[in-house]
């Protein structure tokens, strides 16, 4: 994953979740950096760049509603150094036969 993401220009892999009217954002550096981006609080207080990404996730069907919360919703994605969306990550279980 690391080599593929660096080649695509990603800097962070991020996990966003909503629960009980609040959000939480965790990140993992992909490139050769050590800083992380973390945030949490009321959904109404999200930074604008994050609101934009989550709106895209909702419209595109990428924000997964959890059938047995908490959390209520979750999405994984990658962003560049300017916190611009690069891609969504699908961690849904793979069906086996």
Task: Return the pLDDT at 1.
Answer: 39
State the Cα–Cα distance between residues 21 and 89, nearest whole angstrom: 24
Domain ranges of the chain: 2-89
Residues 6+ away with beta carbon under 8 Å from 25: 14, 15, 16, 37, 38, 39, 40, 50
pLDDT at 95: 54
pLDDT (0 to 100) of residue 67: 86
Tokens 């150094």 sit at which residue? Answer: 81
- Quickly tell me which residue has 């993992």 as its tokens: 28
Question: What is the pTM (predicted TM-score) of this model?
Answer: 0.81
- Report pLDDT for 3: 40
Mean pLDDT, consecutive 10-residue stretches, the chain (97 aa), reads 48 94 93 81 97 96 88 93 91 60
């Amino acid at each position: 994953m690391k080599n593929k993401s660096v080649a695509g220009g990603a800097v962070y892999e991020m996990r966003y979740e909503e629960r009980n009217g609040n959000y939480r954002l965790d990140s993992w550096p992909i490139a050769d950096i050590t800083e992380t981006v973390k945030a949490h609080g009321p959904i109404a207080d999200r930074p604008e760049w994050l609101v934009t990404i989550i709106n895209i996730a909702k419209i595109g069907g990428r924000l997964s509603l959890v059938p047995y919360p908490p959390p209520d919703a979750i999405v994984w994605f990658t962003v560049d150094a300017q916190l611009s969306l690069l891609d969504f990550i699908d961690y849904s279980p793979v069906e086996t036969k």
